[in-house]
Amino acid sequence: MLNSIKRKVYALYSDLACVVERWKHKKKLPVLEERDRIILNALKRDGVCVTTLADLGFNSNAEMLKTAYHQLSQMEKANNDHLDEKWPQIYTVTDLPEISAWATEKRLLNIIENYIGLPITFHGVHLRKDFPSEHQFGTLLWHSDAEDRRIIKIFLSLNDVAEKTGPFEYIPRSLTSLFSWQYYWLYYKLWQSKYMGIDDEIVKKVIPKSAWKSCKGPVGTVILADTKNVLHHGTVRTEERSTLFFCYTANPPERPELCTQYWDDTYPRLELNPSLEPVQISS
């Protein structure tokens, strides 16, 4: 009991210290172009912004996609036809220069730093293939991530995403603000699940399906999301979906042990680089 109280007091102190640091860093935040401020405003409002590679217009777009598709072609065929629950196939691609060059584009980092409000760290990239499923499990359940107090994850579609390929879906933050009873009810249900996730039927009890936002789009659709503060999930699909997952947090994050998966040996690599380290972004 005493240890539990100590942990809660420390967590409150840590959160307050983070607020102070964010306030102190405010004057150091990089200036954004108007087109990038639109992305920032969407993140602040809803916790998610959907754009495209074409609209971002980075010089690194073409080489990044070329490398991603090459890596995708090298992935082993999954032997999971016999399984009821087909877990995603994940490879770490952080050390591929064409992909990391895109991930560390200055305009992109400036947007993320303005949202997180502190110096940031780019942790790495996963190349991920998700398979058909008839029911919700794993990240198909509604959940929030835990690496930091604010997280930006970028999901870059490598195929057209429609209902059949299971789009990313989220609840706009305005519907689950700290001042709403829905927030406390949903996160109580998450706590009951030991933060493993809750299904559609639970969410429907307080947030109607009509209010859920589904992120469909063509190849090259880019989703920026604060996966800590926005309840989200992947949806049940009948066809495969391939995506790049990029992860950014404050430097350092609240829970660094959850971030190592983007650059350590948690997942296999198609091309290995023994000197791999997370990329630290200084201000």
Give the span between the Cα atoms of 18 and 130, in whole angstroms.
35
User: Going residue by residue through the chain (283 aa), what tens digit of pLDDT does each one get?
Assistant: 666 566 666 678 788 999 999 999 999 999 999 999 999 999 999 999 999 999 999 999 999 999 999 999 999 889 998 999 999 999 999 999 999 999 999 999 999 999 999 999 999 999 999 999 999 999 999 999 999 999 999 999 999 999 999 999 999 999 999 889 999 999 999 999 999 999 999 999 999 999 999 999 999 999 999 999 999 999 999 999 999 999 999 999 999 999 999 999 999 998 544 444 444 443 3
pLDDT score, position 14: 87
List the end-to-end C-alpha distance of the chain, in Å, as a whole number: 41
Q: Which residues contact 223 (CB under 8 A, 6 or more apart)?
A: 48, 49, 50, 154, 155, 156, 157, 168, 215
Superfamily of domain 31-280: q2cbj1_9rhob like domain (2.60.120.620)
Whole-prediction pTM: 0.93
Q: What is the pLDDT of residues 75-126, one digit of tens each?
A: 988 999 899 999 999 999 999 999 999 999 999 999 999 999 999 999 999 9
Question: Within 10 A of 65 (CB to CB), how many other CB atoms are there?
Answer: 19
